[in-house]
Structures are given as C-alpha cells and as structure tokens.
Structure 1
Amino acid sequence: MTEQEFIPKPYKKTIESGSVTWESPSNIALVKYWGKKENQIPANPSISFTLSGCKTITRLSYSPKESPDDFSFEVFLEGEIKPDFKPKIETFFKRIVQYVPFIKDYHFKIETSNTFPHSSGIASSASGMSALALCLMSVEKELKGDKFETCFTQKASFLARLGSGSACRSIEGDLVVWGTHQEIENSSDLFGVKYPFEVHNNFKNYQDTILLVDKGEKQVSSTVGHGLMHNHPFAGERFKQAHENLAALINIFKTGNLEAFIDIVESEALTLHAMMMTSMPYFVLMKPNTLEIINKIWAFRKETDSKLCFTLDAGANVHLLYPEKETVLVSEFIKNELVAHCQNGQYICDQIGFGANKIV
C-alpha cells in the first residue's frame, strides 16, 4: 500500500459527543530498529514480541467544536493534566491530519494511564501512541458508517507509526514485523504486520522479566539517537545485518532452535548499543549494573544450561527472555543474583501477548 490509500473519502456520517477506550501493550524488539528516514520510515526491518501486562489504557472523549482551524485537546496522565505532553501530541496530529481530517472538527480529552509504574524507565511511547491511534480509528469508523475491518488495524498501525515508530508493532501480536523484508510477503515500512510463518512451541508463552536498572531520564533521546545514524560510519553494515538476522529468525522460529535465538537476540541488543557508542557525538546508555547483569546471565547459562537470554532497548534496563518452563528457575536466579542490581530492587514480570483490545 501507499500513504495515499490511507486518505479517506468524505465521511458518510456526523457524530456528536462521545468517548472510546482502548488498551495497547508495549513491545520489545528482537531485531532492533535504529535509524529512520523522513516520515518515520525505518532504515531497517525489525521484529518484536508484543507484551501482555505492560500496557497503556487511553480514554478519548470528543465533542464537536465550532471552528476547524486548529487542534483542540487536553492530556491527562493518571488523572493529572499534563501540558508538557501537548507538544508531542500536537506533532502527532500534524502528521496524521490528512489521514484522519476529522481531528480538526473536535475537541479531545485524552486520559491515559499505564499498568507499569510511571518513571519506571520503560518507554510508554509505543503503548501510548498505539492506544491513541486505535481510539482515533474507532471515531473514524463511526464517521465512515460502514465496515472496514480489513484495514482498521493496518491503518491504526500506520497512524501509530507517525506518533512513535515502534508503536506500529503494538497493535497486534505475538510477533510483529515492521519494515520491508524480501522474505516476508506483505511486510511494509508503513505499518507492522503479524509474523506470517510457523512458530515452534518453544516460543509460545515466552516470558519477559524487565529489570529496572535505571529509572532516570535518558541523557540522549531515541529521536536524537536515530538521527545520528544518518552519517554513522557503520550504518550500511548495520542495516544489512538486521536484514540477515531477521531472515535467520524465520528458520529459528520454525525449528525452535533456542541456542540460535539467543545468539541473534543478544547480538542485536549489543549491536544497538555499539551503534550508540560509535556515533558522533557518541553516548552510552548502559549503566554499570547493566553489565553486571549481563555477565551474571552468561555465567548462569553456562552453569545451568538455561535458555535464558537478555535484550536491551535504548536504555539501561534489561529484558530477560526465557521459555515458560524455566519460570521457577529464572525467578530464583533473579531473587538471588539480579535484584541487587535493580534500582530499589524493582523488576516487572511479563510475557508475550496478542495485541491491543477495545475496552468500551
């Protein structure tokens, strides 16, 4: 599809005041997206596990306004008005207005909350922007007055991407691909698609325990980090590596090869941070405790033959990925060895999920 196909025809109906609520999860990339082109187009394809428990719940209330000249909205987090959230939402609305032109006709009250602790160091942009995109799609569905289920999730993912790139991977689950890849039919730079191939039972109900190493604000935003890939000396090879790793995962998911899965996932995590450390200007988002945890994971795996592995996002926190059957073993390891390296001893237990849900 092209961007033009998401521009709607004139709406068939008008609607008065109302509200809609969606919950949408976060996700954790296995093959990382780092670097983007204009209009939130990824420089390389990525694939992620959709999470289950870590999610954002957003209620969008709307009422007609007299003048369609500008955007009108207010944002609340956990019941408190958040004027500092408005610039990001305004940027989002500017990017999507040609695809959902009704947003200039209404005043919106955006009420959002997260199931994970605020300021926990977990990025809420993916879950938050995908939840808001889904709410807007529900309003458009009412305005269109017809059935368009086949493109509802696709357009929601398309819109979410324009708010936060990785948000397009949070609409569905449990594995979602974003970015064009020659071996994955219908993959697109414009939206995420459900992973279309066979997945071995080894990867069903996979667990993700998030160790909260550092809950402070990152010294370099992801947006700035993505931008530094434009002149990065290793960018071309990195983008090639991402394509190759995603291709390799197709057979790994089919055969259930956990050892090969570990190799790719951990390499991807370290490569992501290597790109940060070799950009100009360079920066380091890992903390000493991040490295302590990684070394303890490697030692634990050698001692026990566990299939536990780690991945990282653009920050210091560590995601522990492991098969469901190892839950007891890994839980004991966390309590005995890893919790000491978490800020205030905090960590979150989650597992893979299956996408967003409309609440009302």
Structure 2
Amino acid sequence: MLSEKDFIFKNNSNELENGIFQWSSPSNIALVKYWGKKENQVPANPSISFTLNNCKTVTKLTFVKKETNNNFAFDLLFEGKSKEDFKPKILKFFERIFEYCPYLKDYHFTIDTHNTFPHSSGIASSASGMAALAMNVMSLEKILNPSMSDDYFYQKASFLARLGSGSACRSVKGSVVVWGKNDSISESSDLFGVEFSATIHENFNNYQDTILLVDKGEKQVSSTVGHDLMHNHPYAERRFEQAHDNLSKIKTVLENGNLDEFIQIVESEALTLHSMMMTSMPYFILMKPNTLKIINKIWKFRTETKIPVCFTLDAGANVHVLYPENVVNEVLQFIKNELVVYCQNGHYICDEIGSGSQLIMQ
C-alpha cells in the first residue's frame, strides 16, 4: 500500500527546457457522499461516484524553465482571459503539492483553462479543474522521470488532485471510482481514487445523468466550510458508519444490477448529505423550494410509471436525475414536460457516465 512518502519526487532523469500539455478532466457525481474530512484532504468516510462524460474542464499547461527557482511563477487564463481572482486557489494548490513536486519552482507556467459547461451554471468545477491541472503536472513529471509506470502516473495524479479539491481525485480515471478506505474494496485508499474493479452490470452501461440547474448563484455556505462543520457534529460518527455500510451495499448493487436497491441507496445518501448540513451548528440549507418540488415530481412519476429514475444532489440546490439508457426518451419527455419549469431559465444539461481524464496535446 502506497504512503504519502511514495509520492515524493526523487530526482530528474531528464532535463526539460519548455513544453506544452493539454488534458480534459470530467466532473463526477457521488452516489455515496463524502462529507467531512481530516487533515490534508483525507476523507472522514469513503465515497463512490459516477464519472461524467460531457461536463469537463479543459486545461492547457505551457511551461518554460526559469533562471531562478525561488518561488512559484504562473499566469492564469480562463476562457482566454487573465483571471486574477482564480490565482490564489492555484497558488494554494502548488504550495500543497510542492513537497511531492519540487520541480514546480523550476518553471514559469501558463495555465489556460475553460469548462465545457457555463461557469455560472451552478455546476462545481473544482473537481474537474483540479484533476485537469494535476494531469498536466504529472505529464511534466513523466518526462522528468520516464521510468514511471502508468499505474503510478494515475495514482499520483489522483493524489495531487485530492490536495486541490477532495472529490477531484475521483475525476482522474475510470467510469466508477471509489475514494476512501473501505473493507469491501480491496485496493481502496484515503490518498487517491481507485477504479471500481468488479464487473459492472449492463444495467449501468451508459447510465444517464441529466443535471437540472435549479440555482446558478453562489452557495451561501461553501463546501469547505460545510466539511469543517462535521467536526463535533452530533451525528457525524453514525453518518460515517452509514457511508461505509452503503458503499458495501452499492458495490453489490453495481454488480447484480438491482435498480430498486440502487435508487434506495442513492436517494437516501443525497438526503442524508443535506440532513448533515441542516443539523450542523451553525445549520444551513442549500436546497431550494424548487429542489423539493423536483424531488416530489420524480417520486410521483416513478410510482405511476415504474420507470427506474431517481435523483441525487451535490452540495447545492441542483438535482441530478439518474436513469438507465433504455428509458432516455420517456425520462427526457418527463423532464421537458414537468421539471424544466423548476430550473433557472429552463436550463438543464444532459450527461452520462464517462471514462475519466483524456490527453489532448503533448
């Protein structure tokens, strides 16, 4: 089992004066939720997610060797324009990973990034953004250390991404990713995400996720603050036990294809996540009235039609509608007829299970 020390860069086998890489990394949606963390972005409980296909961050990293290497030097472009207010987050990321990537101070970087979804859509881009940046950093390290194995490349990329944004470690590789040590997943780790290794039932092939954009505004309480409020939370320990139990259960469900059990676990996890917010101190609510209206509409539709459609929520008001590929037409018609009215400006995004980060240019 790898430890943090195994990810410390040892020595350069190669010299590199300049170069350019470009990676895309997708967003992901957790089925069993991670909420609460320990030091160094270690999760308080394990999680499992579907990697998405269409909602991505595309990041190009250009680098040039510096004459002096006493600080981090980088320019940041978002959608082709300088974005100074994003720089502190990138600087913090570089500072966190410097112990593992000391070569970062040898170069001046230009980070040019954009999302395939609107920045103001209310979809969190921290996971996809940090994953894409980590992939580029590891492409540089791969040239400096060409003997690196592919397994190590992806494990360290996930490890680095986690230090930028916890859930980013689930956006590196795989269609279904587990993050956090759990007895039912043999290779699972708190340090990086791992691909779900068991054979996934055909019911989940090309599983669909239509994201209903209920509220595009900035959240009143950030996820970072929300995670911290799990310290001394009266129900935290029971919640962490529940997450372990649900991960074991959903592992079986993903293998046997039982959609009724899948729905029960996923919806319960979504509501439990928000119940932790509502019972923290201070307490807060990220759902909006239209979030609840959508949930009730989905329940009514599922009861009347027996179509296996369900919802999950991230740490916000938006609703992810999950359903098998073979009911796409019926569910999309239902969304257009009954749910779009609850979306801000009628906006929603159709997505599906994807396969992780992709190299675009090197």
Q: Give me the TM-score of the superposition, normalised by structure 1.
A: 0.99
Query: 2-side partners of 1:187 and 1:40: how far apart?
Result: 16
Task: Look up the match of 1:289.
Answer: 290
**Which residue in the other structure is 1:359 paired with?**
360
Q: How far apart are the structure 1 equivalents of 2:155 and 2:72?
A: 24
What is the DSSP-based 3-state SS (H/G/I as helix, E as strand, rest coil) of the residue aligned with 1:119? helix
Match of 1:44 in 2: 45
CA displacement at 1:181 relative to structure 2: 0.2
Q: Which residue of 2 aligns with 1:241?
A: 242
1:15-94 alignment to 2 at 5 Å?
15-94=16-95
SS at match of 1:359: strand
Structure 1, residues 171-212: CA drift from partner, whole Å, max 9, x if none? 112100000001111100000000111211111110000000
User: How many angstroms does 1:150 deviate by?
Assistant: 2.2
Residues 174-323 of structure 1 aligned to structure 2 (within 5 Å): 174-323=175-324
Q: Within 2, Cα distance between the matches of 1:199 and 1:238? A: 26
| 1:200-235 Cα deviation digits (max 9, x unpaired) | 111111000000000000010000000000110000
Question: What secondary structure is seen at the aligned counterpart in 1 of 2:172?
Answer: coil
Amino acid at match of 1:207: Q
Task: Say which SS state the counterpart of residue 36 (structure 1) adopts.
Answer: coil
Q: How does 1:317-336 map to 2 (within 5 A)?
A: 317-336=318-337
Separation (CA, whole Å) in 1 of partners of 2:353 and 2:150: 24
Counterpart Cα distance in 1 of 2:283 and 2:251? 33
Indicate the SS of the match to 1:95: helix
Counterpart CA distance in 2 for 1:14 and 1:101 is: 14
After TM superposition, which residue ranges in structure 1, 4 or more long, deviate above 2 angstroms?
145-148
Structure 1 residue 141, shift from structure 2 partner: 0.7
Q: CA offset at residue 10 of structure 1?
A: 1.0
Give ranges in structure 2 of 5+ residues lacking alignment.
Answer: none
Q: CA deviation at 1:349?
A: 0.2
The letter of the residue matching 2:185 is: I
Q: 1:147 offset after TM fit, Å?
A: 4.0
Percent identity for Structure 1 against Structure 2: 65
Paired letter, 2:298: I
Question: 2 CA distance for matches of 1:186 and 1:245?
Answer: 18
C-alpha separation between the residues in 2 aligned to 1:68 and 1:226? 35
- For residues 50 and 105 of structure 1, the distance between their equivalents in structure 2, rounded to whole angstroms, comes to 33
C-alpha RMSD of the superposition: 0.7
Query: Which residue of structure 1 aligns with residue 338 of structure 2?
Result: 337
Superposed displacement of residue 317, structure 1: 0.2
CA distance in 1, matches of 2:241, 2:150: 35
Read off the aligned partner of 2:330 and give its amino acid letter: L
SS at match of 2:250: helix
Structure 2 partner of 1:350: 351
Alignment partner of 1:42: what SS? coil
| Count, aligned residues | 360
Instruction: Give the Å deviation of 1:145.
Output: 3.1
TM-score by length of 2: 0.99
